[in-house]
Structure formats: C-alpha cells, structure tokens
Structure 1
Amino acid sequence: MRLRLRPSDDSFYDFFTRAAGNLVKGTELLSELALPGVDVQTVSERLIEVEHDSDAITHALYKKINSSFITPFDREDIYRLGSLLDDVMDHLEAVGSLLYLYGLTKLPSLPRELHEIVKVLDQQARLTADAMPRLKTMKNLEEYWVECNRLENEGDNAYRMLLVRLFSGEYDALTVLKMKEVVDELEAACDAFEHVANTVETIVVKES
C-alpha cells in the first residue's frame, strides 16, 4: 500500500460534486422536453443558466488548483476531470438550445430513440453525481465506471437506430439536417460521460 502524504482538501471534491449535480439538473431539463405543452424556450434558458453555473465551478476549480501548493491527487488529473465534467454540460446545453432554435419540438413528436438517449444520459448523470463524493476515499467506484461504460454502449445503439430512422425518408431533408446536429450532441454527451468515468478509473488506479 502506498503511503499517502498529501493532506486532504475537501474543497476539490466539493467542486466535482457540484459540477456532477449540475449534470443531473441538465438531463432532468432535457427530459422535460418530452412533456406535453412544455415551454421549450424556458427549458432552454434554464439549461443555459445551469451551463453558466458549471462554467463558474470549473473556473473556480482551476483557480483553486493554481493557488494550491499541494493537491489531493495529480494536478493534471484534477484539470482533466474538471474539464470533462464541463464538457458534458456543454453538450447537454447544446441539445436544448438546438431543439429550441431549430423549432424541432414543434414536430408532431420527437423520435422515440432520441428520448431513449436522453434516458441513458440521465442514468449516466445520476451515476456520476453519486460517484463524485466517493473520490475522497477512492473506494467503491469500480461499479460506477463499469456501468457508465455499459450505458455508453446502450446510448451508441440508440444513436445508430436514430440515424437509421432519420435517413428512412420519414423526415424532410431540412429536418434531417437539423436533427442530425442534435443527435450528434447527444452522442457526444454519452461519450463525454464515459470519458469522465475512464478518468476516474485512471485516478483510482494511480492513487491506490
């Protein structure tokens, strides 16, 4: 067992926990878009607010790193984890903004597969939010990254089926182009969650 000489600084873990909590807020807001009569503009604006809060958390984390002589684990890993959590939020916000700006929620209904991907993202967000506080002890995290990777594969399957549907002729060409941008952001969010999980695995292995 490696002797740990680094002092504990809970503020770093608080940043990760807050950032992951915002991801849950983000996926919850995306899920609202499936509700009948939802005010899409309001949902999009709320997503932007959450994204701005995530940016503020990330900047505060970077400032904390730069002002700390000693960190609880490698600075590069702290930077990377903070940046990846912010990347996920950026993709979630982009989905909401594009759906609103392109007027896609005015369609008779959004593709079922799109809602399936959002459901996967919500599961990944909740797993991530649950895992971040456990970074402090570096224990009981393996199930998190294994399940998050499994969900990413599930999201990939839904993404491929959604592409098949988009190019089936069900939608006009302009709608397909607009929807493809949204779908790519959803898929990127799934991948970004997996990158977060892989980074957590790397940190745990290095620190154990």
Structure 2
Amino acid sequence: MDKLKENYYFTSFVDLSVYCVKASEYLSEVIANFKPSGLLENKRAMHHIEHTADVERHTVVANLFKEFITPIEREDILAILRAIDDVTDSIEEVILRMYMYNVTEIRPEARLFTDLIHKSVVSLKALLEEFAHFKKSAKMKDLIFDVLRLEEDCDVVYSETVHKLFVNEKDPIKLFIWEDLFLRLENCCDACGHVSKEIETAMFKNL
C-alpha cells in the first residue's frame, strides 16, 4: 500500500490521542478550580470533547471497512481505536459522576489522580507518535513501559487513598461518592495502560 494510506491509521491514532490530552487537561482544570455551580457546564464541555473524538473514530472505522490492505491487521487497528476511545470515555465518566452525585467539594487527593492521568495521556500520545516506526524503533519498549509504570503508580495512589477514605470518612454518603470517584479516576490510568498493551500485542503480531 502507498505511504499516505499506511500513515493514515497511525496518524489517526495520534489525532485521537489529542482528545485524550484535551479531556485530561479539562478534567484537571475542573478539579483545580472547582465550582459546584459549574458542573452542568463542565459535563457539557467534556461531552463535546468526547463526542468530537467519537465522530473522528467512526470516520476511521468506516474507512477501515473499505480497505483491502492495511499496515497492521485490521482487528489490531480496531482494538487500538476502541482502547483510545475508552480513555476519553473514562475521563468523561469522572465529570459525569461528579454531576450525578452533585459533588459540592473536592478532596485534595483528587489532584494526585489528575496529575497521574495527565502524565499518562501525554506518555500515551508519545507512544502513539512513535508507533508508526515500531518495526525499526528502539524507543517503543521504553515508551510502553512509561505508560504501564504510571498505571502502577496510580494503582498505589488508589489503594492508599481509598484506605485513608475508609479510615477517616464517617459520612456514608460521602464515603460512597468518593469511593466511586476515586475508582473512576483510577480507571483513566488503567485505560491508558490498556492501549499500551494493545499496541504491544499488535507489534508482536505484525513484526
């Protein structure tokens, strides 16, 4: 296949990861400058980012169905597209849950998660930018490791934060809300890790 078509899917992966970064940046902004009265608008703004990413992903999938030859196996392309979409969805879910639960204050631990989420999506974007060169690249292993290391860091923060929550929080409603929100935040880093694993699988299948 010609170089333009070959690059299309790899470029699309990167383009979609840009929405992951935008969603992460917006989540960080909402958490850092939290206003309960702004949650409805926050939800709408985040959904706009997620929906725009969805539209682009659907376009790529539609093109994939028309292709006879693809640079890597089409099921790998589809799996990576879905995994990237899950990252944006996971970030949107945090804002959605905050709105659903009518959160009125932010716990300081939430900033630990948003910092890790942002580092994860930036590392994921760097990995996807290198992915087009995976057959010759000496960087892929380290870039995959960077994303997975951040996922592990987030796992540690999650377990310690939830432990602290159950030790100190006596209000059962707040306990329910924040146990779930911390899980949703942790899911964002897990979603980034899942993309890196899909990429690793695709690499070994397509070498």
CA distance in 2 between counterparts of 1:171 and 1:24 reads 35
Per-residue Cα deviation, 1:132-186 (whole angstroms, up to 9, x for no partner): 2222211222221101111001000111112112212425111111222222222
**How many matched pairs?**
200
Partner of 1:11: 8
The question of 1:26 aligning with 2:55 is answered no
State the Cα distance separating 1:13 from its structure 2 match. 1.8
Partner of 1:131: 127
Per-residue Cα deviation, 1:174-201 (whole angstroms, up to 9, x for no partner): 1111222222222222111111011112
Match of 2:18, as an amino acid? G
Per-residue Cα deviation, 1:58-96 (whole angstroms, up to 9, x for no partner): 211211110111111001100100000011111100101
8 Å contact from structure 2 (residues 16, 84) kept in 1: yes
8 Å contact from structure 1 (residues 92, 189) kept in 2: yes
Partner of 2:110: 114
Partner of 2:162: 163
Moved more, 168-177 or 83-92: 168-177
State the Cα distance separating 1:41 from its structure 2 match. 3.0
Partner of 1:54: 53
Query: Given the two structures, how large is their TM-score scaled by the length of structure 2?
Result: 0.89
Match of 2:32, as an amino acid? L
Partner of 1:35: 32
Alpha-carbon distance change, 103 to 148 in structure 1, aligned in 2, over 3 angstroms:
same
Match of 2:24, as an amino acid? T
8 Å contact from structure 2 (residues 32, 111) kept in 1: no
Moved more, 50-59 or 79-88: 50-59
Partner of 2:152: 153
Match of 1:13, as an amino acid? F
CA distance in 1 between counterparts of 2:156 and 2:22 reads 24
Match of 1:100, as an amino acid? Y
Match of 2:84, as an amino acid? L
Q: Helix, strand or coil for the counterpart of 1:69? A: coil
Match of 1:79, as an amino acid? L
**Structure showing the higher helix proportion among its residues:** 2
Long gaps (5+) in structure 1 = 1-5
State the Cα distance separating 1:12 from its structure 2 match. 1.1
Per-residue Cα deviation, 1:27-49 (whole angstroms, up to 9, x for no partner): 10110123335433333221100
CA distance in 2 between counterparts of 1:173 and 1:37 reads 23
Long gaps (5+) in structure 2 = none
CA distance in 1 between counterparts of 2:2 and 2:108 reads 49
Q: Which runs of 4+ in 1 moved over 4 A?
A: none
Q: Helix, strand or coil for the counterpart of 2:31? A: coil
8 Å contact from structure 2 (residues 28, 114) kept in 1: yes
The percent of aligned pairs where both chains have the same amino acid is 23
Query: Given the two structures, how large is their TM-score scaled by the length of structure 1?
Result: 0.89
Match of 1:101, as an amino acid? M
How well do the aligned residues superpose, as a CA RMSD in angstroms?
1.7
Partner of 2:62: 63
The question of 1:186 aligning with 2:185 is answered yes
Partner of 1:3: none
8 Å contact from structure 2 (residues 113, 157) kept in 1: yes
